[in-house]
Structure 1
């Protein structure tokens, strides 16, 4: 089986690609000719997918290094043609980079949750940090009800578990 087909048919990779390029992008990936380089116009014509969707998918994949191009210039018209090919062999690098970014964001959130004390309005479910709650005298700005302390331990445990899981996946643990 072709490595691109193998990757596209893997449920986890397919879910990642779907998040990037949605149904129409997956359709393009499935129908993308496996050999050679192809212009966006050629791909749209061969696959029946809207040219703007083809271009959007290609540029999205390019940003993740999952597609690459080279341009050729028509000396008579001065027009540039971009010839594309897939680089699905970079999929694991792209996933790893995205996971590292998620890990960074989750770590920042964990630090925020650990460093702050929170208060909640039981009616409106608005949550405030201690300084914010103090500034509004521990009364909800929407309904004027008194706020109570919010225990974020369950959220912190969940964040820590998710961070640990991602670190293990990335080989950091």
Structure 2
């Protein structure tokens, strides 16, 4: 597991904190969840734009917002457009300039490379194969990116479903990182 403090900026450390917070929030709802999308905004900017927000935040968050330029608040997006898959959903999303970043939570089934060699070509057969394979791993990915450049990913497996077993790194899921970046352009 990589530590964001070993990297380049307060922005990346704040993003890593926000991604971990989102992952814990999503984990509290359990497994087999739909895709969830979050806007990330600097808490200080959100407070300046919406002064009444002060009543909804904890004292610790207010102190962090006052002392950390990059402290982030996540805002879950509801009423997402219907889409056949994550790629199509992300292609339909764009963000206003007030949004500093975006995060997404998604669950996937992964197999070791050796098992993928036997994956049937027929989509329905492939799904049945994935769901029945003894080496399958269910994973939850929370991936976040900032307009300023940094990215952070958190990964939890169903087999090791505890907060102290969540892995993380800047580019664990590079394709999803790039897809999220595209929503900010």
Structure with the larger helix share: 1
Calculate the TM-score normalised by the size of structure 2: 0.23
CA radius of gyration, larger in: 1
